[in-house]
């Protein structure tokens, strides 16, 4: 299957939010950024409404050759004074495509986007230790752990592993 990234559209929110079937998945995906379950479908739009899309925030949707939505993530420039570092967040793939390499392919496209369009040389992301499949995906792309922190989620302490990838410019 061919995959490409395109800019996120408000109508994507309903589909992406429908992939979140339980609280654990919600918090593994969004940490405490959305914080309410069940999702009604507009939560991504609500979350993104306060962001500077196109300036330091770039939400992207992965689609197949027929424009079917198969994944989503955002690229953020966390510090406008250090524009060569980006952070990936809200990384998710449709449940029907999980475990088949689509997450890795989507991130490869996002890394390429960050290098070509944003001239990034470093990418970071966070992954919870209770999500080993996601961590393995990130490691397969060259991300390595740089630090850990504890986040209280669902009245429990979850270990978050911050990872980074040093990229060569194209």
The whole-model pTM stands at: 0.95
Q: How far is CA 57 from the centre of its chain?
A: 12
User: What is the H or E stretch that residue 39 is in?
Assistant: none
Instruction: Spell out the residues 6+ positions from residue 161 whose beta carbon is closer than 8 angstroms to its own.
Output: 126, 127, 128, 129, 135, 145, 147, 148
> Would you give per-residue pLDDT tens digits along the chain (170 residues)?
799 999 999 999 999 999 999 999 999 999 989 989 999 999 999 999 999 878 899 999 999 999 999 999 999 999 988 999 999 999 999 999 999 999 999 999 999 999 999 999 999 999 999 999 999 999 999 999 999 999 999 999 999 999 999 997 65
Cβ atoms 94, 69 nearer than 8 A: yes
Please state, in angstroms and rounded to a whole number, the distance separating the CA atoms of residues 117 and 10: 22
Cβ atoms 70, 63 nearer than 8 A: yes
């Amino acid at each position: 299957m061919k995959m490409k990234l395109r800019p996120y559209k408000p109508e994507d929110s309903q589909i992406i939010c429908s992939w979140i079937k339980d609280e654990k998945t919600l918090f593994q995906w969004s940490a405490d950024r959305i914080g309410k379950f069940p999702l009604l479908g507009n939560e991504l739009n609500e979350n993104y409404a306060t962001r500077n899309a196109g300036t330091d925030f770039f939400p992207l949707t992965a689609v197949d050759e027929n424009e079917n939505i198969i994944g989503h993530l955002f690229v953020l420039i966390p510090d406008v004074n250090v524009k060569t570092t980006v952070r990936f967040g809200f990384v998710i793939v449709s449940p029907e495509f999980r475990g088949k390499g689509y997450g890795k392919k989507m991130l490869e496209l996002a890394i390429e986007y960050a290098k070509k369009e944003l001239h990034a040389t470093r990418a970071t992301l966070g992954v919870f230790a209770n999500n080993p499949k996601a961590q393995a995906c990130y490691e397969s792309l060259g991300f390595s752990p740089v630090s850990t922190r504890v986040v209280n989620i669902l009245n429990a302490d979850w270990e978050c592993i911050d990872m980074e990838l040093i990229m060569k410019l194209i």
